[in-house]
């Protein structure tokens, strides 16, 4: 095992030579362009030498603020080659988020992707005490905004004098496994963002763990659409390099469904929201089918469920079931898989809680959604499904090389070589969560009888009503989100006399159910205020919540006309709910439910 990520990449480049490594589309292009391994190694060296030419070196904190593209990873590797530290920003980060992170890390240079990101970076020149240089991946952007900005081509020329090659090689010879590789700022669902420090050894240990659990090879193709600023896609991208696989970069994640049949990946990192949206789209299309077609579809899915139930227990399906499943596959299930490109072997999925019925549905279609649990502080994966025995109600078994135990208070504690080195410049915060080598996750969890890890809720999210009852909002939200007429929701009730909820309706389902009302009230704000619609939701909630303990049930709710999103700061980069932010944004509406 190589001690340094760049040494790993260089070794693969020597082995694979002119074999393809990255695939991407130029703006406006229909066909893919690509980099081969030899080109990747060469351009990484050019990035490194240009950084040396600008005076950067070991321990320099260097930012990347861009959507997914090959230059993101090339810059990443180039920074690591000089033993620098990569500080990624989410592609839609605000000016204040940029300022907070750049000020704390004393950042002097920042790589940016598009014009909007460049404008925010230029704003930093006058509002940050350290930033001196911006490099634009877009060749059409540079000094038009500020003389301190240069484009990608201009930047790569800075190190061409040849005087930096020896320095670069010496730095790599001196590299150590525990060199700091990156500072990844958490999305801040609670409190101010904290910079998670990960070393090269955290990533290389992650590769070893993955090798013992996952079946990935140089023949695989992955679609890179989750943000590279997040640990999940970033560590997976490094793992693809480690395995010699091809990575396809998608700059606009909203186009993922359109791109899947073109890219035809065999593996792809996903989050639960991706499956929720896909499932909703499938069910919406099914609603318009003739009864006979719907009946065939439901029979095929039911058959798929029976078949996958055998697989998850590592049992051989009976001949009759296998025969029925083959027919179901030809009629329906193969078409469902074609939505994902038709070539998927498995899809790692993490980042938030997922409804077990979603896992069952996609497994029934023959898509192995490998659900897991992890954190930025653990270099992503702590547990995930094995490929032979697993439970849809859990997050799989603990990864090889990782130790997990549940504290007396029910908190998930994690130990191993993938656990982070601490929070940047926050020793007090570090001491709160790193104790005797154990990372105190802040997540409440347990183990199933079969030994699978179950993450129940964020401990900080569990609240107590004014009546003294403890409520897990995740439990209630997962139950209510099963309803096809609910797109998103947040359950509230901390120190309140009853539980309330903010609900974003599934407007497509709602308009299909009430075509006359929808025609009468085309505006969504008017639609959700209609007494008939409100009564409809009251009845649905009453029915769904029968299985809940009375104090866990939502008593009052407010329908919202717009979804929670990253753009309105209600979701993190992995589409997790920011409860505190939402509570502040909708404080007036929430208070009104308790009058």
Rounded distance between C-alpha atoms, residue 545 and residue 557, angstroms: 13
Please choose, from the candidates 447, 473, 469, the residue with its C-alpha nearest in 3D space to the C-alpha of residue 460: 473
* Radius of gyration of the CA atoms of the chain, in A: 25
122 within 8 A of 112, measured Cβ to Cβ:
no
pLDDT at residue number 576: 79
The torsion region of residue 341 among left (phi > 0), alpha (psi -120 to 50) and beta comes to left
The last residue of one of the domains, among 175, 205, 220, is 175
DSSP-derived secondary structure letter, 399: P
456 within 8 A of 431, measured Cβ to Cβ:
no
Which SS3 state, helix, strand or coil, does residue 458 take? strand
246 within 8 A of 219, measured Cβ to Cβ:
no
What's phi and psi for 415, nearest 5 deg? -140, 145
The DSSP code sequence of 158-176 is TTTTSTTHHHHHHHHHH--
Structure token digits, residue 175: 């590299």
Rounded distance between C-alpha atoms, residue 34 and residue 105, angstroms: 34
Rounded distance between C-alpha atoms, residue 205 and residue 133, angstroms: 34
Q: State how far the alpha carbon of 368 is from the alpha carbons of 268, 269, 542, in Å.
A: 11, 12, 34
The DSSP code sequence of 276-322 is HHHHHHHHHHHHTS-HHHHHHHHHHHHHHHHHHHHHHBT-PPPHHHH
CA angle 128, 132, 136 (to 5 degrees): 105
The DSSP code sequence of 362-380 is HHHTT--EEEEEEEGGGTE
What's phi and psi for 155, nearest 5 deg? -65, -45
Decide if 444 is inside a domain.
no
The last residue of one of the domains, among 175, 203, 223, is 175
378 within 8 A of 414, measured Cβ to Cβ:
yes
Q: What is the CATH number of the domain that holds 137?
A: 3.40.50.980
Which residues face 111 on adjacent strands? 64, 135
In the block, which residue shows the tokens 């005087």?
A: 163
259 within 8 A of 30, measured Cβ to Cβ:
no
pLDDT at residue number 189: 46
pLDDT at residue number 100: 93
Structure token digits, residue 410: 């029910």
CA angle 12, 17, 23 (to 5 degrees): 85
Q: State how far the alpha carbon of 7 is from the alpha carbons of 34, 44, 180, in Å.
A: 22, 12, 15
pLDDT at residue number 570: 86
186 within 8 A of 574, measured Cβ to Cβ:
no
Contacts of 524 (CB under 8 A, 6+ apart): 507, 561
The DSSP code sequence of 470-500 is EE-HHHHHHHHTTSTTEEEEEEE-TTSSSEE
Rounded distance between C-alpha atoms, residue 266 and residue 279, angstroms: 20
Decide if 254 is inside a domain.
no
Structure token digits, residue 58: 């070991």
pLDDT at residue number 288: 85
Name the burial class of residue 426, with classes exposed (0-12), middle (13-18) and buried (19+) by CB atoms within 10 angstroms of its CB.
middle
75 within 8 A of 47, measured Cβ to Cβ:
yes
Please choose, from the candidates 163, 154, 116, 120, the residue with its C-alpha nearest in 3D space to the C-alpha of residue 135: 154
Rounded distance between C-alpha atoms, residue 162 and residue 178, angstroms: 29
Q: What is the CATH number of the domain that holds 516?
A: 3.30.300.30
pLDDT at residue number 121: 94
Decide if 107 is inside a domain.
yes
Strand-pair category, 434-435 with 397-398:
unpaired
The last residue of one of the domains, among 151, 175, 199, is 175
Domain of 517, in residue numbers: 463-592
Which SS3 state, helix, strand or coil, does residue 412 take? strand
Q: State how far the alpha carbon of 304 is from the alpha carbons of 92, 332, 365, in Å.
A: 40, 10, 6
Strand-pair category, 411-416 with 438-447:
antiparallel
Contacts of 500 (CB under 8 A, 6+ apart): 491, 492, 493, 554, 555, 556, 557, 558, 590, 593, 594
pLDDT in 10s for each residue of the chain, 595 residues: 788 999 999 999 999 999 999 999 988 888 999 999 999 999 999 999 999 999 999 999 999 999 999 999 999 999 999 999 999 999 988 898 899 999 999 999 999 999 999 999 999 999 998 999 999 999 887 656 688 999 999 999 999 887 899 999 999 999 999 999 999 998 654 457 899 999 999 999 999 999 999 999 999 999 999 999 999 999 999 999 999 999 999 999 999 999 999 999 999 999 998 998 899 889 888 888 999 999 999 999 999 999 999 999 999 999 999 999 999 999 999 999 999 999 999 999 998 889 899 999 999 999 999 999 999 999 999 999 999 999 999 999 999 999 999 999 999 999 999 999 999 999 999 999 999 999 999 999 999 999 999 999 888 888 888 888 889 999 999 999 989 899 999 999 988 999 999 999 999 889 889 999 988 988 999 999 999 999 999 999 999 999 899 999 999 999 999 999 878 888 877 677 888 889 999 999 999 999 8
Decide if 433 is inside a domain.
no
In the block, which residue shows the tokens 């693969």?
A: 12
Chain CA centroid to CA 73, Å = 17
The DSSP code sequence of 414-449 is EEETTS---BTT-HHHHHHHEETTEEEEEEEEEE-T
Decide if 399 is inside a domain.
no
Number of independent structural domains in the chain:
2
Strand-pair category, 195-199 with 397-398:
unpaired
pLDDT at residue number 468: 86
Which residues face 444 on adjacent strands? 411, 457
Decide if 35 is inside a domain.
yes
Contacts of 360 (CB under 8 A, 6+ apart): 305, 308, 392
Decide if 347 is inside a domain.
no
Decide if 312 is inside a domain.
no
pLDDT at residue number 88: 98
Structure token digits, residue 586: 């909708």
Q: How many CA atoms lie within 13 A of 374 on its CB side?
A: 34
193 within 8 A of 101, measured Cβ to Cβ:
yes
The torsion region of residue 325 among left (phi > 0), alpha (psi -120 to 50) and beta comes to alpha
């Amino acid at each position: 095992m190589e001690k340094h990520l760049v040494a790993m990449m260089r070794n693969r480049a020597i082995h694979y030579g002119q074999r393809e490594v990255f695939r991407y589309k130029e703006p406006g292009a229909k066909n893919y362009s690509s980099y081969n391994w030899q080109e990747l190694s060469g351009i990484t060296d050019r990035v490194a030498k240009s950084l040396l030419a600008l005076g950067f070196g070991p321990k320099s904190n260097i930012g990347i603020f861009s959507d997914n593209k090959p230059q993101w990873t090339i810059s990443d590797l180039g920074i690591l080659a000089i033993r620098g530290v990569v500080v990624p920003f989410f592609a839609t980060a605000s000016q204040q988020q940029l300022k907070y992170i750049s000020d704390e890390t004393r950042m002097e240079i920042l790589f940016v992707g598009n014009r909007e990101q460049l404008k925010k970076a230029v704003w930093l020149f006058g509002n940050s005490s350290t930033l001196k240089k911006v490099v634009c991946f877009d060749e059409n952007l540079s000094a038009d905004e500020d003389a301190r900005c240069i484009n990608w081509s201009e930047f790569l020329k800075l190190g061409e004098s040849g005087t930096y090659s020896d320095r670069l090689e010496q730095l790599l010879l001196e590299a150590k496994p525990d060199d700091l590789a990156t500072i990844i700022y958490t999305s801040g669902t609670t409190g101010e963002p904290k910079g998670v420090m990960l070393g090269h050894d955290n990533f290389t240990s992650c590769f070893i763990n993955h090798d013992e659990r996952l079946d990935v090879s140089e023949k695989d193709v992955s679609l890179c659409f989750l943000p590279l600023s997040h640990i999940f896609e970033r560590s997976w991208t490094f793992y693809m390099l480690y395995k010699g696989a091809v990575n396809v970069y998608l700059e606009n994640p909203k186009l993922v469904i359109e791109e899947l049949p073109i890219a035809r990946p065999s593996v792809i990192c996903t989050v639960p929201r991706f499956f929720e949206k896909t499932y909703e789209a499938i069910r919406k299309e099914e609603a318009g089918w003739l009864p006979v077609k719907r009946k065939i579809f439901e029979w095929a899915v039911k058959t798929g469920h029976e078949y996958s139930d055998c697989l998850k227990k590592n049992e051989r399906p009976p001949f009759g079931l296998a025969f029925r499943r083959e027919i179901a596959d030809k009629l329906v299930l193969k078409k469902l898989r074609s939505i994902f490109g038709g070539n998927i072997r498995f899809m790692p999925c993490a980042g938030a809680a997922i409804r077990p019925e979603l896992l069952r549905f996609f497994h029934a279609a023959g898509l192995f959604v490998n659900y897991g649990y992890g954190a930025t502080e653990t270099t992503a994966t702590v547990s995930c499904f094995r490929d032979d025995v697993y439970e849809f109600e859990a997050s799989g078994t603990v990864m090889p090389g990782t130790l997990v135990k549940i504290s007396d208070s029910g908190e998930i504690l994690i130990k191993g070589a993938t656990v982070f080195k601490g929070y940047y410049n926050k020793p007090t915060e570090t001491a709160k969560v790193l104790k005797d080598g154990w990372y105190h996750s802040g997540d409440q969890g347990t183990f199933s009888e079969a030994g699978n890890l179950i993450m129940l809720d964020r401990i900080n999210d569990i609240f107590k009503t004014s009546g003294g009852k403890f409520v897990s909002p995740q439990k209630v939200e997962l139950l209510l989100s099963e309803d096809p007429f609910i797109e998103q929701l947040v359950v509230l009730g901390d120190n309140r006399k009853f539980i309330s909820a903010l609900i974003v309706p599934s407007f497509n389902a709602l308009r299909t159910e009430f075509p006359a009302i929808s025609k009468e009230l085309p505006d969504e704000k008017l639609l959700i205020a209609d007494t008939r619609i409100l009564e409809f939701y009251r009845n649905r909630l009453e029915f769904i919540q029968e299985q809940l303990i009375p104090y866990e049930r939502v008593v009052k709710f407010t329908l919202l006309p717009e979804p929670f999103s990253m753009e309105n700061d209600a979701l993190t980069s992995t589409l997790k709910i920011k409860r505190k932010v939402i509570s502040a944004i909708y404080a007036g509406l929430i208070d009104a439910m308790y009058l």
